[in-house]
Amino acid sequence: MLIVQKFGGSSVADAERVMNVARIVTEKYRQGHDVVVVVSAQGDTTDDLIDKANEINPHANKREMDMLLAAGEQISISLLAMAIEKLGCPAVSLLGWQAGFQTSSKHGVARIRKVKSERIRNELDQKKIVVVAGFQGLDKNEDMTTLGRGGSDTSAVAIAASMHADLCQIYTDVEGVYTADPRKIPAAKKLDEITYDEMLELATLGAQVLNNRSVEMAKKYGVELEVISSFTNRPGTKVKEVINMEKMLIKSVAKDTDIARIVVVGVPDEPGMAFKLFSRIAKAHINVDIILQSVGRDGTKDISFTVPKKDGEAAVAALRDYCDSVGALELSARTDVAKVSIVGAGMETHEGVAAQMFEALSDANINIRMISTSEIKISVLIDADDAERAVAAVHAKFFE
Ligand code: ADP
Ligand code: ASP
Ligand code: MG
């Protein structure tokens, strides 16, 4: 079998943990499998490198940021290859470009175009364990790129997809995907299985356990994922197309605090207002999430919406002219908000799920500012200060 194993930053944080990973990897290798290992930078290395750059130039050129951040993974791959050799197995470490990762040129958020996996194949054929740097690649100008935070998950799935691996295991510091972040909610339960669609929603709505692009790619190429702990020897969570678990309504609760809410008060209650407003936001390349428009009263209405926190100021700047020209009374951005969501394919066919969620929030005396729903999720926007309590209350309602 060809097995791709990915180890996150906490799994390779220090020498002891690197040796632990080497033991997991060599065990599979000794069973006769071809093993490709993808690793992230050790512990908080990526954050530390970002801090270092900010000390020198907070507006650093994105190309240079990628050059810097790619160094984190280079340390992990070489150390892990050394650890594997210490345990008596042959290994070779490869940077993203050596492993054939070709990406777009969008530094910091590059997209994988292709993995030219000949080199990996070659090394495997020479009976080596291949250790690949996650999170990085090379663009058409042969400049280093990175894939965005948490991007090593996507690197692992891309290798698994392009080499038709039999298994892609994402090793991390928890035992799988839970009904809520197990570090915040001690009563959270591990799921045996979850569908791609549910996992994609969950990842997009703030559960960092898998990067959402990795799930998107896994679904597209049919790569079955297993999220599993590198510290305990227990079965993890399988992410796949169809699952045979008894119908569980809701799978998990997620929280996202990386949000800004933009409020425009006193827009004329006439056709075309939303169109004009959101075309300015689109022109500024800002993604809009939840949108709420009030009922018109006395000839005016209010429009509010959410954007990623980093785009809050840019959204306000993009709307200043518009607000002046239509005579809006107020334009503001607030970042002290959070989005709490429940995800589950079962809710599509069950009434009353939303009411149950709102009841939990009401009992906890938490005010809902915005609501958004789809077939498999319900999200509410609330004050950031209430977020932890909200997750606990909603989790208790559905799972405890
Ligand atoms: P890695 O460094 O291995 O990539 P991450 O920190 O990116 O690990 O992701 C693992 C973390 O995701 C866990 O430590 C946990 O706190 C968090 N997490 C958030 N939501 C969930 C969830 N529903 N199930 C499991 N873990 C979750
Ligand atoms: N080291 C990168 C990060 O911290 C990539 C990853 O961990 O997946 O975001
Ligand atoms: Mg991660």
The CATH number of whichever domain residue 130 belongs to comes to 3.40.1160.10
371 φ/ψ sector (left φ>0, alpha ψ -120 to 50, else beta): beta
Question: Among 36-40, 160-164, 298-302, which stretch is predicted with the lowest mean pLDDT?
Answer: 298-302
**Residue 211 CA, closest ligand 2 atom number:** 8
Q: Does residue 291 register a pLDDT over 70? A: yes
CA distances from 124 to 36, 146, 202, 393 (A): 8, 25, 35, 50
Q: Summarize the confidence of residues 50-59 as an average pLDDT.
A: 97
Model pLDDT, residue 30:
98
Would you say residue 153 lies in a domain? Answer: yes
| Residue with CA nearest ligand 1 atom 17 | 209
Report CA(107)–ligand 2 centroid distance (Å): 15
d(CA 383, CA 132): 41
d(CA 342, CA 131): 37
Model pLDDT, residue 351:
82
Q: Does residue 243 register a pLDDT over 90? A: no
Instruction: Check pocket membership of 43 for ligand 2, CB cut-off 6 A.
Output: no
Dihedral, CA of residue 150, residue 154, residue 155 and residue 160, to nearest 10 = 150
Number of H helices, E strands in the chain: 11, 20
Name the closest ligand to CA 70: 2
Instruction: Check pocket membership of 173 for ligand 1, CB cut-off 6 A.
Output: yes
Place of tokens 């000390």: 55
Looking at the chain, how many residues does it have?
A: 400
Dihedral, CA of residue 212, residue 175, residue 350 and residue 354, to nearest 10 = -70
Instruction: Check pocket membership of 41 for ligand 2, CB cut-off 6 A.
Output: yes
Model pLDDT, residue 312:
96
| Residue with CA nearest ligand 2 atom 8 | 150
Q: Does residue 190 register a pLDDT over 70? A: yes
Dihedral, CA of residue 195, residue 388, residue 366 and residue 178, to nearest 10 = 20
CA distances from 76 to 43, 94, 128, 215 (A): 10, 11, 17, 24
**Residue 148 CA, closest ligand 2 atom number:** 9
The strand ranges marked E within the chain are: 2-7, 34-39, 91-94, 101-103, 112-115, 129-133, 136-138, 144-146, 167-172, 193-195, 225-229, 237-240, 252-256, 259-268, 291-293, 300-308, 330-334, 337-343, 370-374, 377-383
Model pLDDT, residue 376:
93
Model pLDDT, residue 133:
98
User: 249: which 2 tokens?
Assistant: 């309504």
- Residue 277: name the closest of 303, 314, 298, 300 by CA: 303
| Residue with CA nearest ligand 1 atom 1 | 8
**Residue 9 CA, closest ligand 2 atom number:** 7
* Residue 377 and residue 290 in contact, taking contact as beta carbons nearer than 8 Å: no
Report CA(69)–ligand 3 centroid distance (Å): 15
Q: Does residue 350 register a pLDDT over 90? A: no
Model pLDDT, residue 151:
98
Instruction: Check pocket membership of 253 for ligand 1, CB cut-off 6 A.
Output: no
Name the closest ligand to CA 188: 1
Would you say residue 287 lies in a domain? Answer: no
Percent of the chain with pLDDT over 90: 95
Question: Among 31-40, 180-189, 348-357, which stretch is predicted with the lowest mean pLDDT?
Answer: 348-357
308 φ/ψ sector (left φ>0, alpha ψ -120 to 50, else beta): beta
Q: Which residues neighbour ligand 3 (ion) by CB within 5 Å?
A: 8, 150
Q: Percent helix, strand and coil across the chain, each rounded to 5? A: 40, 25, 35
Instruction: Check pocket membership of 177 for ligand 1, CB cut-off 6 A.
Output: yes
Instruction: Report the predicted TM-score, pTM, of the whole model to 2 decimal places.
Output: 0.94
Number of folded domains that form the chain: 1
Q: What is the mean pLDDT of the chain?
A: 96
Name the closest ligand to CA 147: 2
Would you say residue 289 lies in a domain? Answer: no
Q: Summarize the confidence of residues 76-91 as an average pLDDT.
A: 98
Q: Summarize the confidence of residues 164-170 as an average pLDDT.
A: 97
* Residue 306 and residue 205 in contact, taking contact as beta carbons nearer than 8 Å: no
Model pLDDT, residue 88:
98
Q: Does residue 95 register a pLDDT over 80? A: yes
d(CA 197, CA 195): 5
**Residue 208 CA, closest ligand 1 atom number:** 12
Domain that holds residue 48: 2-172
Q: Does residue 214 register a pLDDT over 80? A: yes
Question: DSSP of 111-139, one letter per residue?
Answer: -EEEE-THHHHHHHHTTPEEEEETTEEE-
Model pLDDT, residue 245:
63
Report CA(57)–ligand 2 centroid distance (Å): 21
d(CA 141, CA 137): 11
Name the closest ligand to CA 199: 1
354 φ/ψ sector (left φ>0, alpha ψ -120 to 50, else beta): alpha
Question: Among 3-12, 222-231, 290-299, 335-344, which stretch is predicted with the lowest mean pLDDT?
Answer: 290-299
Would you say residue 100 lies in a domain? Answer: yes
User: 135: which 2 tokens?
Assistant: 């999170």
Furthest CA-CA distance within the chain: 79
Q: Does residue 130 register a pLDDT over 80? A: yes
Band of residue 348 on the pLDDT scale cut at 50, 70, 90: confident
Q: Summarize the confidence of residues 123-127 as an average pLDDT.
A: 98
Model pLDDT, residue 247:
65
Report CA(232)–ligand 3 centroid distance (Å): 18
Can you list the alpha helix ranges (DSSP code H) found in 205-272? 212-221
Report CA(51)–ligand 2 centroid distance (Å): 15
Report CA(80)–ligand 3 centroid distance (Å): 18
Name the closest ligand to CA 9: 1
d(CA 132, CA 129): 10
Model pLDDT, residue 318:
96
Band of residue 246 on the pLDDT scale cut at 50, 70, 90: low
